[in-house]
Structure 1
Amino acid sequence: MDAIAPMEAKLVEALPEDEGWQFEPKWDGFRCIALRDGGKVELISKSGKSLARYFPEVAAMLQSLTPKRFILDGELIIPVGDCLSFEALQLRLHPAESRIRKLANDTPAQFMLFDLLALGDEMLAAEPLSVRRQTLERFHAAHGDAALLLSPTTVERAQADAWLARTGGALDGVIVKRLDEPYRPGERAMLKVKQLRTADCVVGGFRYASGKKEAGSLLLGLFGEDGKLHHVGFCPPPGDKAELTARLEALVEPPGFTGDAPGGPSRWSTERSGDWQPLRWELIAEVKYDQVTGRRFRHATRFLRWRPDKAPEQCRIEQQVGELRPAELAGLL
C-alpha cells in the first residue's frame, strides 16, 4: 500500500447553492495521510514528508487498531488548556526525540478523520464520496476514541453557514466536496470558504524593504489587558510607497511597541526582527486577517483602509478571534 497525495481545495468566496455537495469544517491543524500496512504505520504530510516521529502517540494509537491495513485522510490537532493550539503542533517539529516524547505526553495529539481511502484489501479512492463516508462512519463507530475523532458533515448549506458564523474564527473555514465524485489525489477537486475578519490596529512601527529606502511592511499592534501595545502582525504598505515612506519617517520616534515587540522571543523571530523603526501612535489601519495563533495574526494581513476616526486606545486585543475551544469542538461533534 502506497501513500496517496491528499486531495486539495481551491478557495472560493461563497458556499455553492446547488444540490449534491457535502460540507464539513476545515480544521486548523496539520493535514495528514495516515497509512497502516501490517506492522508499519506512517503519517504523511501534504509535502510528502513523514510526521510519524513527531507524533508517536498517534502512530501508536493507529498501530493498536484491529484493522491491519488502511489509508485515512485527516487532520492532526492538539488541545492545550482551553483551546486547540496550532502553535503546539509546530513545537512538535523538533530534532530531539526526548523533547518530542515529552510534548507527546504533556500535550497529546488527536487525529480528526474525514476520509477513508483503503481498508483491508479494498481500495476505496475510486468510490464516490457518499460511499466512502458511510464506510468511514462504520470504521469510526468500531474504532474511534478520544484520540480518533470523526469530522462532522452535512448536506445542508444552512448548517455550513452556521458553522462559519457560530465558530467565530474557531475553525479555518468550511470544505465542500461533491458527493458523487471519487477521491482525486493531488488535485484541487474540493472547494474551501474561509471566514475572514477585520481588526483596527495601531501602526507601531515599520520595516524598510530589503535593499531599498522605502517601506516594506507596516508593523501592527493591539493593546492588551496590561495597557501595553503588543506587536500582533504586519501588512504590506498600501498606495504610493514613496509618499507613505515619507509619512512614516516623519513619525519615527518612541513609543513604538511597549509590550511584545518585533524581535522578542517567538517563533516569528528572524535575523531581520530587530531591524524596524518605532512610530508615534498616530496611524490606525483596518486590516483583514484569517487566523490567530498565540495572539498574533498567523499570516500577513491585508490592508483595507486608514481609520483617522479611531483613537489608538480603541485598538484592543479583544478584536482578535482565537483558537477553537474544546467546548465548541464538542458541540460540533
Structure 2
Amino acid sequence: MSSIPFKPMLPSLTDDIPASEGWIYETKYDGYRCIAKWTENEVELYSRNGHSLNSVFPEVVDRLRALSPCIRSFLPLVLDGELCILQSPYKASFGSLQKRGRLKSREKIDHVSQQTPSTYLAFDMVHIRGETITHKPLSERKKVLDALFGTLSDQLTENDRLALVNSFIESGQLWSHIKEENGEGIIAKMTSSTYDPGIRTKKWLKIKNPQKGVFFITAYEKTNGFFHVAALQEGKPVLAGLFSNGISPAERESLIQVLKKNKAAENARFITVAPSICVELEYLEIYKNQLRHPRFVTFRFDVSWEDCTWERIVSRK
C-alpha cells in the first residue's frame, strides 16, 4: 500500500430516497471523512485530502492498535468511514468535533479525548490482506467488512472507539430514526457499486434531513450576494447567518429592489433594512446561533417579524 491511501468515493446530493431494488441505506453522520490504513505495526488515519488525523484523534489510533492482534489474518487493510463524536446511534455532534479539530495542544487533546471521545464508524473495506478490492461490488466488500467485525465482536463494547455502520434494506425505519433524532440524513448505496476513488458518483446518494425556521432579513451584502437574517432573542435581534442558495434569479432581483426601496442605510458593502421581510429557510443544524448550510425555501408573508424568535425555532427541533 502507498503511504497515503486514495481519496474517498463521494456521494451525490439528491432530494429523494431511491426506492428500487438493489439499494441499501445507512446513517449519514456529521463528521470527518476518514481513510484508515491499518497494518500490524501501525495505524494511520487520513482526511479526505490526505492529511494525517492521528494527533487529533489519539484515542481511535490507540484503540485500533490494541485490536491489531485480534485481526492479524485480515491485515494489512484499508477502511473507509467517518470520525465522529456521537450523540446517539443516528446523530453526531458537529460542534464537539469542530472544537476537537481546532485543538493543537497534546495535553488538551488528551483531556478532551477522555471527556468526549470520538468513534471511527467504518462503512466500507477497500483493501484487505494486501489486496485492493475496489473493483468488487459493494455487496462483496460488505461481506468482508462484516467478517472483520464478526471477528472483533467479543472485543468491542457498546460505546467503543470503533464501530460498524449498520445497513438497512428498507429506508423507512432508518429515516424515522433520523427524523426523531434530528440526524443529518441518509446515504443510499447501490449494492452493485464498485469503489471509484476520488469520484463523486450517483451510485451513492446523500439525502439530507434539513431543519426549517422563519427569520427576518436584516441586510443584503452587495459584495457577495448574500442576505443576512436574524431572529429575536429576549426581544433583541440576534444574527442567525446568511443565505444565497435556493432563491430564484427573479425572486432575488425582486427582493433586492424591495430592500433598496425600504433601506435604512446603504454603503459600499451593505444595504440594511429594518425588520419586516420574513423568509423560511432550511438548514442542517444550528451551531452557536448560526445556521449551517441555510437554503431559501419561501417568503413568509403570513408571519410577522415579531414572531421570528429563537425560542420558536429551537422548540421545533
Please give the range of the TM-score, normalised by the shorter of the 2 chains.
0.7 to 0.9
Contact 1:295 / 1:322 at 8 angstroms: preserved in 2?
no
Contact 1:198 / 1:286 at 8 angstroms: preserved in 2?
yes
User: What's the counterpart of residue 219 of structure 1?
Assistant: 228
Deviations 1:272-298 (A, max 9, x none): xxx867643222112232333334211
Deviations 1:3-45 (A, max 9, x none): 1321111112212222111111111111111111232221111
CA RMSD of aligned residues (A): 3.0
Name structure 2 gaps, 5 residues minimum: none
User: What's the counterpart of residue 60 of structure 2?
Assistant: 58
User: What's the counterpart of residue 282 of structure 2?
Assistant: 288
Distance of 2:127 and 2:309 partners within structure 1: 49
Give yes or no for the alignment of 1:42 onto 2:44.
Answer: yes
2:183 to 164, 171, 186: 171
Distance of 1:78 and 1:65 partners within structure 2: 20
Distance of 1:233 and 1:161 partners within structure 2: 28
Tell me how far 1:138 sits from its aligned partner.
Answer: 2.8
Q: Secondary structure at the match of 1:229?
A: strand
Distance of 1:85 and 1:156 partners within structure 2: 26
- Spell out the pairing of 1:1-333 with structure 2 (5 A cutoff): 1-2=1-2, 3-66=5-68, 67=71, 68-79=75-86, 84-93=92-101, 94-143=103-152, 144-145=156-157, 146-167=160-181, 170-189=182-201, 190-203=204-217, 205-210=218-223, 216-224=225-233, 226-236=234-244, 238-240=252-254, 243-250=257-264, 252=265, 279-299=273-293, 301-317=294-310, 318-320=312-314
Contact 1:292 / 1:321 at 8 angstroms: preserved in 2?
no
Q: Secondary structure at the match of 1:233?
A: strand
The structure whose residues are more often strand, as a share, is: 2
Deviations 1:123-155 (A, max 9, x none): 333322112212222322333332212212112
CA distance 1:311–1:108, shift in 2 (3 Å): same
Distance of 2:193 and 2:216 partners within structure 1: 47
Deviations 1:139-188 (A, max 9, x none): 22333332212212112243354345444xx3222111111222221122
Contact 1:23 / 1:156 at 8 angstroms: preserved in 2?
yes
Q: Percent identity?
A: 28
Query: Comparing 307-316 with 37-46, which one deviates more in the overlay?
Result: 307-316
Distance of 1:14 and 1:321 partners within structure 2: 26
CA distance 1:96–1:117, shift in 2 (3 Å): same
Distance of 1:284 and 1:13 partners within structure 2: 25
Distance of 1:101 and 1:40 partners within structure 2: 20
Tell me how far 1:322 sits from its aligned partner.
Answer: 9.3
Deviations 1:281-321 (A, max 9, x none): 2221122323333342112x223333232122322334358
Tell me how far 1:229 sits from its aligned partner.
Answer: 3.3
CA distance 1:13–1:304, shift in 2 (3 Å): closer
Contact 2:222 / 2:270 at 8 angstroms: preserved in 1?
no
Tell me how far 1:78 sits from its aligned partner.
Answer: 1.1
CA distance 1:242–1:84, shift in 2 (3 Å): closer
Contact 1:78 / 1:88 at 8 angstroms: preserved in 2?
yes
Tell me how far 1:117 sits from its aligned partner.
Answer: 1.9
Tell me how far 1:114 sits from its aligned partner.
Answer: 0.8
Contact 2:86 / 2:92 at 8 angstroms: preserved in 1?
yes
Q: Secondary structure at the match of 1:132?
A: helix
Query: Comparing 186-195 with 305-314, which one deviates more in the overlay?
Result: 305-314
CA distance 1:219–1:43, shift in 2 (3 Å): same
One-letter amino acid of the counterpart of residue 206, structure 2:
K
CA distance 1:304–1:248, shift in 2 (3 Å): farther
One-letter amino acid of the counterpart of residue 71, structure 1:
V
Q: Secondary structure at the match of 2:253?
A: coil
Distance of 1:221 and 1:102 partners within structure 2: 36
Distance of 1:249 and 1:45 partners within structure 2: 45
Q: TM-score, normalised by structure 2?
A: 0.80
CA distance 1:282–1:22, shift in 2 (3 Å): same
